[in-house]
Structures are given as C-alpha cells and as structure tokens.
Amino acid sequence: MDDGIILIDKPAGMTSFGVVARVRRVLSEKAGKKVKVGHTGTLDPFATGLMILVIGKECRNAETYSKLDKVYEATFTLGQTSTTGDPEGDLTEISSREPTRDEIEKTLDGFRGEIMQRPPIFSAIKIAGKRAYKLARDGQEVEIPERNVTIHSLELLDYTYPELRIRTHVSSGTYIRSLGVDIGGALGTGAYCSTLQRESIQKWSLTEAKKLSEFGIKD
C-alpha cells in the first residue's frame, strides 16, 4: 500500500515506536523503497490493543486521527501506587482496606463527564521540547499542568479486591493511568493501572486490526 492506514493490534512489551519501526521495515522491503509510516497516538509498552498507523501521504493527517475519542478496558490494582502509574514503576504499599462495591460505584460517579486531569510525568508529552519521561528518568522535576478531559462513559466490569476492571469511553488526551491513580486517591487506597487495552478509536475497532505476526513480525 502506498497511502492510507493500517490497524494494528499492539502486543504487550513493545513501544509504539517499535511497532512503527517494524511495520516500516516490512513495507519498505516489499516496496523496494523507504515507506513513510507513523502512528496516531502512543500506547504504553505494557498496554495492548488498537493502533492506527498512517502510511505515505496519509501521515500528514496523523493529528486528525490522534484527536478522536477512544475506548479502553483497564484493570486498576488497589492498595498500591506506582511511580509510573503502571506495572513498570516502583510499587509502594498504601492501604490494605478493601472498599465495598458500593464505594467503588459512588467513586466512579465522580469521574464521569468533564474532569480535570494531570497527565503522568512518565509520558510522551513534551516539556520545553523534551519528552517528559526522559526528564523524569534523568531525575529532573517535571510539572505537567492539569487539562480538561471528558469521560463519556465509565463502566464497572468487575471488582474482586484488589483488582477493579473498567471500560471507559474517553476524549483525546485522557490518560487511563492517571484515571486509575485518581480513582485510587479518591478511594483512599492508592491504585495503579495494571492492564490496559485500547478497544476502539472512533469508528475503528480492535476486531479489525492485524497482528504483527501477519506481517511476519515476531512480538
């Protein structure tokens, strides 16, 4: 393909840039020339699910795709916090208190609709031209301002302490790791996002996506 999009089911343990690099290499080898490939929204290495890759001239429209609503399924582990908000950070025990399901439901109510959210310091957001996660890894203090995001829906799928599983439809710019941290804070237990899967981006679904193995790429 010369121009257009490819839907990819990203595996866990791979960066979004790693996915792009591997697909670019395969497409370039097949085309006998360098093919331009980009992505339209970073998924954390531990996360899985739908990525829209833009190919060729469609790369100029990458920002349009990145601004679309998204649906995620996630697991938040209560009782601990993580320096990165996910399983890859240093974990700290916070509380052994087990909230009731009713407490969980009432807390989730406070996160539906428009909310203010502070993105995690370990993120790809640029601060003075540098990625926030690079500054954080260098031990520098990182201050990211809060932003207004919209949680269109937030559904409790399952709750068996310490794991709280949710599905949420969110606006562009929403960080599910931050959502988990904030929910844990509101519960007084602490929390981090232990699993994360992007199920859809606007009209595109994970069920339509190709696995990297279909391109001859090993996870």
Active site (catalytic) residues: 44
Evaluate whether 205 touches 70 at the Cβ level (below 8 Å).
Answer: no
